[in-house]
Amino acid sequence: MLDTIIYTLQDFMTYTKGITYLIMGGILIFMPLFWYFLTGRE
Amino acid sequence: MALDKPVFIKPKLTLFNIIIGIILVMGLILTILRFTKGIGAVTNLDNNNPWGIWIGFDLLCGVALAAGGYVTSASCYIFGLKRYHSAVRPAILTAFLGYALVVLALHYDLGRPLRLPYPIFYSQGTSSLLFEVGLCVFLYLTVLFVEFTPAAFEWLGLKKIRAIVVKLILLLTIFGVILSTLHQSSLGALFMIVPSKLHPLWYSGYLPIYFFISSMFAGMSMVIFEGSLAHRYLENEMDATHKKEASGVAFGFAKAASLIMMGYCATKLIGLAVDNNWHFLGTSWGLWFMFEVVGFVAFPAVLFAMGSREKNLTMVRFAAIWTILGIILNRLNISIVAFNYHLPAADRYFPSLSEIGTSVFIVTLGIVAYRFITTRMPILHEHPDYKAH
Amino acid sequence: MAISRRKFLSCIGAAALTTTTNGLSKAYGASNKHFKGHPDSFGILHDITKCIGCRKCEAACNKVNELTQPEKSFEDLSILDQKRRTDANIYTVVNKFKHDTRAPVFVKKQCNHCMEPACASACFVKALNKTKTGAVIYDESLCVGCRYCMIACPFEIPAYEYHKALTPRITKCTMCYPRLLEGKLPGCVEACPKEALIFGERDKLLKAAWQRIYRYPDQYLEHIYGEHEMGGTSWLYLSKHPFSKIGMREDLGKKSAPELTTGPLSAVPIVVGLWPVLLTGVYAISKRKDKITKEEKEKAVAQTTALAKEDTEKKLEALREKMTREKTSAINFEVKKALEEAEKTDAADKTDDKAPEESGKEEN
Ligand code: SF4
Ligand code: SF4
Ligand code: SF4
């Protein structure tokens, strides 16, 4: 997808939102782990 | 360990049970009709009105009124308001049943229900807000299910798994709030794509915010309403803690709901101002809009306030019912009444009897399931083996 | 300066599927976040002033798409008196509008093949797509049947097969996509006897349409419907009468569907980014408050116990002192008494008795 040109806003949204959804999944997994790291010594 | 309550309790032939039986039979017939003759045979939907009450009531109202789950568990576990603890389980149970029924109702409304997993697992249309709703509802249903399992595990005596789940409560609650924020607001945002079809008084850039805020007081009102119903019909299932805390929960939520509802009215006012919609207020649509906002938000907000000041439980319960009706009115206004407002009367939608029947059937299923579970599992009381987790 | 459909026939074959290669040379990219649509994509210009309402396009559409034959034949023009919309079996309709007393106006209606289709933006399984030919096409193998595309379409085009129980589909004009791929004209365009429908590259059609407007200013409104409506459509319309009077909404605005939804769509990831922080923060604060309250309570308890202890000790001390004092005074009293007595009897004997008696009492 990266090497082809995106011609419509619609395709742009589908593509970028697809990526943000993956990032969101990553955040939801990372944040709790980080919290445990942050408070691990308490 | 012996089960808390038996699985099979012989049903009694009360009037209530007979009515429920009739509704269930009617629902089965409608179900058969729907899946043999098609959506067109049982609904009044047409090409101009592709969404009827199965979406407007079953989905939009169902999800809003199931918000009690995240509101209650967030108050208890995140905001640390321990006095709501006895209200968490019934609220989670209602939320879980609510969402399960929403998904069930979708099977009636979707043309090809078996493809329901497609958007999540097969072809992700990420530019759609409906994708967002679908994903979050799916995830949240899972979260609610896990949050609900401790009660089932206690009932079945599975101590070890229960202990694991209980440790995850905080994480699940935070997930639940995030997912709820997202899909409650996205349900409103579904209509952002149709500025030309939804009446300007209801169409707003703030739609997602309106839906999210109203879901909070919808959830609180449902907890109060349900509490009053449970008190009346399921009192023998309650333990002393639940009874002692119940009125405190009602007053606490009444106060919170009242404040949030006033804030909601304020945002509605701001919405009118930013879109310069004042001139619509003089039209008949404007009257209907005021009827909704003043009559079914501001008015019950004041009732809630008076009820919580005077510690008047009856008034609080009345206000809760009024608020719930207001939420239903608002969701139906957006999805049906003010939707397609530009079409001539002949092209407008009105639900058919079988559509209403199907919705009634689905709500009834929820009541039956709630009763089945609360009379067996430790929902309205704590399990003697697991005091205070 | 009418554009002959034959002229376009010749160019289709060459241009139909070559858009990717020459697309690369043009500056359409995501970087400037301004999207102009697929380069050289096709469109259709409907010159409403030329339409005579013969329904030949409807008949052709029915034929090329292999739809079920309607009860009344397409020759029957009486149906034009009803206001119709597209249906599961009808991809295009011609509507008649009586504008003042003069001759009626006929308008063909079908999917406008938006540049930024609302239906595609709304579809949560990507069953609807804008292709590089310009056609917005539907993939029935993906469709779940949520009908959100029908809600979203501002032109009220997609229809649904409500009476199919198990495999209902969305139906709408395909811009004859399969025919385009074969290098053929859309059925309706080919059938139009009056060149009221002209097929070509959208950019060129736009220019040609403006030329018509400039050349015949009293015959056309200075507005090409579809140039900007909802972000622009591949189907373009020229008319003499205001579009709102001939069943076409002029209040749709220029914002395309994806523009309307980008706000809420971009709020979603921010919620996921910030909520965990906020909620965990609130939790941490409430927990800390609990902890502080607990600590304070403990401290208070400890303090009170300590205070109480001190207090008792003080009291004990005081008691002891008092007792000692009492004792001493008692002794003193005794001594005094003894002394007085001794004075009466023997002075030397009494002083020896007093000392051991005092030390013994102290030890108690
Ligand atoms: S006119 Fe409607 S159906 Fe056709 S492309 Fe546009 S939004 Fe989609
Ligand atoms: S009905 Fe089908 S095509 Fe339309 S939005 Fe839903 S899944 Fe997509
Ligand atoms: S382009 Fe094809 S599908 Fe569309 S109206 Fe014309 S004939 Fe029908």
Q: Give exposure, B191-201, as e/b (b: 16+ Cβ within 10 Å).
A: bbbbbbbbbbb
**In this structure, what are the phi and psi dihedrals at residue B239, rounded to the nearest 5 degrees?**
-100, 175
For the record, the structure tokens of B152 come out as 């089932």
pLDDT at A1 over 70: no
Tokens 């034929």 -> residue? C63
Instruction: Please state, as a whole number, how many other Cβ atoms lie within 10 Å of the Cβ of residue B317.
Output: 20
**Pairwise CA distance, residues B181 & B211, whole Å:** 9
Q: For residue C257, what pLDDT is reported? A: 92
Contacts of B342 in chain C (CB under 8 A): 249
Span of B198-207, B226-235, B246-255 with lowest mean pLDDT: B226-235
This complex has an ipTM of 0.90
Q: Would the CB of C86 count as within 6 Å of ligand 3?
A: no
Q: Would the CB of C174 count as within 6 Å of ligand 1?
A: no
Question: To test ligand 2's pocket by mutation, which of C111, C128, C139 has the most ligand atoms within 8 angstroms of CB?
Answer: C128
Instruction: Place C66 in a pLDDT band, splitting at 50, 70 and 90.
Output: very high
Which residue in chain C is spatially nearest to B81 when comparing CA positions?
A: C286
What number is the average pLDDT over the span B122-126?
Answer: 92
Helices of type H across chain B = 15-37, 39-42, 53, 62-65, 68-73, 85-109, 118-121, 129-156, 159-167, 169-189, 207-233, 240-274, 284-293, 299-309, 313-332, 353-374
Nearest to B148 by CA among B228, B65, B63, B69: B69
- Vertex B241: Cα angle to B239 and B242 (nearest 5): 70
Residue B97 CA to chain centroid, in angstroms?
9
For the record, the structure tokens of C8 come out as 């376009």
Q: For residue B65, what pLDDT is reported? A: 93
**Pairwise CA distance, residues B316 & B251, whole Å:** 7
Q: For residue C270, what pLDDT is reported? A: 92
pLDDT tens string B322-343: 999 999 999 999 999 999 999 9
Q: Would the CB of C109 count as within 6 Å of ligand 1?
A: no
Q: For residue B172, what pLDDT is reported? A: 92
Instruction: Please state, as a whole number, how many other Cβ atoms lie within 10 Å of the Cβ of residue C178.
Output: 13
Three-state SS for chain A is CCCCCCCCHHHHHHHHHHHHHHHHHHHHHHHHHHHHHHCCCC
pLDDT at C70 over 80: yes
pLDDT: which is higher, B20 or B237:
B20
For C:150-169, CB contacts with B below 8 A are 150-152, 154, 156, 158-169
pLDDT at C15 over 50: no
Q: For residue A3, what pLDDT is reported? A: 53
Q: For residue C9, what pLDDT is reported? A: 43
pLDDT more than 90, % of chain C:
56
Judge whether C230 and C254 are in contact, CB under 8 Å: yes
pLDDT at A21 over 60: yes
Where does ligand 2 bind, in terms of residues with CB under 6 Å?
C 122-123, 125, 127-128, 143-149, 170
Which residue type occupies B14? Answer: T
pLDDT at B107 over 90: yes
- Mean pLDDT comparison of C77-86, C216-225, C340-349, highest-scoring range: C216-225
Q: For residue C358, what pLDDT is reported? A: 46
For the record, the structure tokens of C262 come out as 């980008």
- Decide: helix, strand or coil at residue B81: coil
Span of B136-150, B276-290, C315-329 with lowest mean pLDDT: C315-329
pLDDT tens string B269-312: 999 999 999 999 999 999 999 999 999 999 999 999 999 999 99
DSSP one-letter code for B297: I
Q: For residue C362, what pLDDT is reported? A: 45
Instruction: Place B243 in a pLDDT band, splitting at 50, 70 and 90.
Output: confident
Which residue type occupies B263? Answer: G
Structural domains for chain B:
18-380 (1.20.1630.10)
Instruction: Place C221 in a pLDDT band, splitting at 50, 70 and 90.
Output: very high
Span of B264-268, B344-348, C154-158 with lowest mean pLDDT: B344-348
Q: For residue C350, what pLDDT is reported? A: 47
Q: For residue C11, what pLDDT is reported? A: 44
Judge whether B33 and B24 are in contact, CB under 8 Å: no
Residue B249 CA to chain centroid, in angstroms?
19
**Pairwise CA distance, residues B278 & B102, whole Å:** 36
Q: A7 CB near a chain C CB, below 8 Å?
A: yes
Query: From ligand 3's centre to the CA of C234, what distance in Å?
Result: 13
pLDDT at C349 over 70: no
Q: For residue C24, what pLDDT is reported? A: 37
Ligand lying nearest the CA atom of residue C108: 3
Instruction: Place C8 in a pLDDT band, splitting at 50, 70 and 90.
Output: very low
pLDDT at B209 over 90: yes
> Among partner residues A17, A28, A32, which is closest to B127 by beta-carbon distance?
A17
Contacts of B39 in chain C (CB under 8 A): 162, 168
Which residue type occupies B4? Answer: D
Q: For residue C3, what pLDDT is reported? A: 45
**Pairwise CA distance, residues B38 & B49, whole Å:** 16
Instruction: Please state, as a whole number, how many other Cβ atoms lie within 10 Å of the Cβ of residue C147.
Output: 26
Instruction: Place B5 in a pLDDT band, splitting at 50, 70 and 90.
Output: low
Q: For residue C325, what pLDDT is reported? A: 78
Residue C19 CA to chain centroid, in angstroms?
31
Q: For residue B156, what pLDDT is reported? A: 86
**Pairwise CA distance, residues B92 & A29, whole Å:** 23
**Pairwise CA distance, residues C21 & C132, whole Å:** 12
pLDDT tens string B166-186: 888 889 999 999 999 999 999
pLDDT at C18 over 70: no
Instruction: Place C330 in a pLDDT band, splitting at 50, 70 and 90.
Output: confident
Which residue in chain B is spatially nearest to A12 when comparing CA positions?
A: B127
- Which chains form contacts with chain B, at 3 or more CB pairs under 8 Å? A, C
Rg of the Cα atoms in chain C: 48
Beta strands C136-138 and C128-130 are antiparallel
pLDDT at B75 over 50: yes
pLDDT at C14 over 70: no
pLDDT tens string C261-274: 999 998 888 999 99
Residues in chain A: 42
What number is the average pLDDT over the span B86-115?
Answer: 92
**Pairwise CA distance, residues C110 & C247, whole Å:** 13
Q: Cα dihedral sign for B2, B8, B11, B16?
A: positive
Q: Give exposure, B25-59, as e/b (b: 16+ Cβ within 10 Å).
A: ebbeebeeebeeebbbebbbbbbebbbbbbbbbbb
Three-state SS for B115-174 is HCCHHHHCCCCCCCHHHHHHHHHHHHHHHHHHHHHHHHHHHHCCHHHHHHHHHCHHHHHH
**In this structure, what are the phi and psi dihedrals at residue B293, rounded to the nearest 5 degrees?**
-75, -45
Q: Would the CB of C110 count as within 6 Å of ligand 1?
A: no
Quick one: CA torsion of B56, B58, B62, B64, rounded to 10 degrees? -10
Q: For residue C317, what pLDDT is reported? A: 86
What number is the average pLDDT over the span B43-48?
Answer: 93
Contacts of B175 in chain A (CB under 8 A): 28
Span of B11-15, B126-130, C223-227 with lowest mean pLDDT: B11-15
Q: Would the CB of C153 count as within 6 Å of ligand 1?
A: yes
Span of B154-163, C21-30, C147-156, C173-182 with lowest mean pLDDT: C21-30
Judge whether C58 and C109 are in contact, CB under 8 Å: no
Q: Would the CB of C120 count as within 6 Å of ligand 3?
A: no
**Pairwise CA distance, residues B361 & C121, whole Å:** 34
**Pairwise CA distance, residues B43 & B40, whole Å:** 5
Cα dist from C26 to B277, C21, C36, whole Å? 43, 10, 11
Judge whether C44 and C198 are in contact, CB under 8 Å: yes
Q: For residue C139, what pLDDT is reported? A: 95
Residues 6+ apart with CB under 8 A from A37: none
For the record, the structure tokens of B346 come out as 């002949």
Q: For residue C352, what pLDDT is reported? A: 52
Contact call for B126 and A18, based on CB within 8 A:
yes
What number is the average pLDDT over the span B252-276?
Answer: 95
Residues 6+ apart with CB under 8 A from B37: C163, C165
Residues 6+ apart with CB under 8 A from B328: B57, B61
Contacts of C258 in chain A (CB under 8 A): 9-10, 12-13
Instruction: Place C346 in a pLDDT band, splitting at 50, 70 and 90.
Output: low
Give kind and range of the element (H or E) at residue C13: helix C5-15
Q: For residue B122, what pLDDT is reported? A: 93
For the record, the structure tokens of B67 come out as 């918000």
**Pairwise CA distance, residues B264 & C313, whole Å:** 62
Q: For residue C30, what pLDDT is reported? A: 42
pLDDT tens string C271-292: 999 999 999 999 989 888 888 8
Ligand lying nearest the CA atom of residue C256: 1
**Pairwise CA distance, residues B187 & C107, whole Å:** 36
Tokens 């993956």 -> residue? A22
Q: For residue B187, what pLDDT is reported? A: 95
